[in-house]
Amino acid sequence: MTTFIREREMIVMADEMNGNSAGDCAATKVTEALTFVTERIASRPRVGIVLGSGLGCIADAVENPVAIPYGDIPHWPRTTAQGHAGRLVLGELEGVKVVVMQGRVHHYEGYSASEVTFPIRVLGELGISTLFATNASGGVNLGYRPGDLVAVYDHINFMGINPLAGRNNEKWGPRFPDMSYAYDHEYLEMLESAAAEEKIPLRRGVYIAFSGPSFETPAEIRMARVMGADIVGMSTIPEVITANHMNVRAAAVSCVANFAAGVKPEKLRHQEVLDSMARAARSMERLLRGFLRKIS
């Protein structure tokens, strides 16, 4: 009996840490956000797109846009990071109905794992079957250069958090979802063929995420390299885990914004990340368009 009570307390504590206090509270919040969004659109999107640091301008390409500031959507976490606009843009791109997140929130902004992935829950409930996530990263692989685009084919979750911790909502997905193909292999091939057609060099790499917000130390980057990581960042993994949980197929493309810590003698600066991303945004948009043409 005492063991049972202790277990129950632990579950409630984990739920609270993940923002799902009192059982289905998170699901209720998702429904409220969903209702708010669906009241403003005529049809449901098929593809969710997350635009990372410095890539927000890609949202301007959406046709027949309906833009909703994050601040207007009930329970939606507000972005505080520089380079993230904070709007949901719904419309069409290459004839595909899309919902674009112009900016994301991160764990390092003080949000729990389930708050970080709240938007993915809403997008999943909106009915997306595909998630296309983008991000900025540091090049861990010594062959990578700033400006390189990398199709993520696997990840190492080194963030110390998992968005599925706490009580599982069976309506969203199973307790122990498989992550063998967290990055859909058919999508990887589509990305590579779209890149070849557009003559955009595209690498395939393993993404490792640390919680941030401090950049990694050179020793941490050497460890990441030994572990098999090619690029490093502070996002995307919670979103991809959540998408997989909801049976949404995921693709992620990273833009190498800088050499990871210790690769070069210079110190890392966030402005360098934003400048590299601004330069890479057009190639990322062309790749995204090519990918959308393939899945349509």
Tell me the C-alpha distance between 236 and 137, whole Å.
Answer: 11
> In the complex, what is the shortest distance from the CB of residue 238 to ligand HPA, in angstroms, rounded to a whole number?
14
Q: Does 254 bind ligand HPA (CB under 6 A)?
A: no
| Catalytic pick among 109, 216, 220, 239 | 109
Query: Of the two residues 126 and 280, which places its CB atom closer to ligand HPA in the complex?
Result: 280
Is 215 a binder of ligand HPA (CB under 6 A)? yes
116 CB neighbour count, 10 Å cutoff? 25
Number of residues that bind ligand HPA (CB under 6 A): 13
Which of 115, 148, 184, 216 is close enough to bind ligand HPA by CB under 6 A? 216
Q: Does the active-site annotation cover 53?
A: yes
Does 257 bind ligand HPA (CB under 6 A)? Our answer is yes
Q: Provide DSSP, the chain.
A: -HHHHHHHHHHHHHHHHTT--TTTHHHHHHHHHHHHHHTT-SS--SEEEEE-TT-GGGGGG-EEEEEEEGGGSTTPPPP-STT---EEEEEEETTEEEEEEES---GGGT--HHHHTHHHHHHHHHT-SEEEEEEEEEE-STT--TT-EEEEEEEEE-SS--TT-SS--TTT--SS---TTSS-HHHHHHHHHHHHHTT--EEEEEEEE---SSPPPHHHHHHHHHHT-SEEESSSHHHHHHHHHTT-EEEEEEEEEEEPTTSSSSPP-HHHHHHHHHHHHHHHHHHHHHHHHHH-
Stretch that binds ligand HPA, among 24-32, 130-138, 163-171, 238-246 (CB under 6 A): 130-138
Does 138 contact ligand HPA by CB under 6 A? yes
As measured in angstroms, the least distance from the Cβ of 227 to ligand HPA is 15
- Determine the residue with CB nearest ligand HPA: 138
134 binds ligand HPA (CB under 6 A): no
Q: Is 136 in the site for ligand HPA (CB under 6 A)?
A: yes
Among 114, 141, 169, 258, the residue binding ligand HPA under the rule CB under 6 A is 258
Task: Give 49's strand partners.
Answer: 100, 132
Nearer to ligand HPA, 109 or 216 (CB): 216
Say how far apart CA 102 and CA 100 lie, in whole Å: 6
Residue of 53, 112, 135, 141 marked active site: 53
CB of 161 to ligand HPA, least distance (A): 16
Among 73, 113, 260, 280, binds ligand HPA (CB under 6 A): 260
133 touches ligand HPA (CB under 6 A): no
Active site residues: 53, 84, 106, 108-109, 136, 234-235, 258, 270
| Binding residues for ligand HPA (CB under 6 A) | 136-138, 215-216, 232-234, 257-258, 260, 268, 273
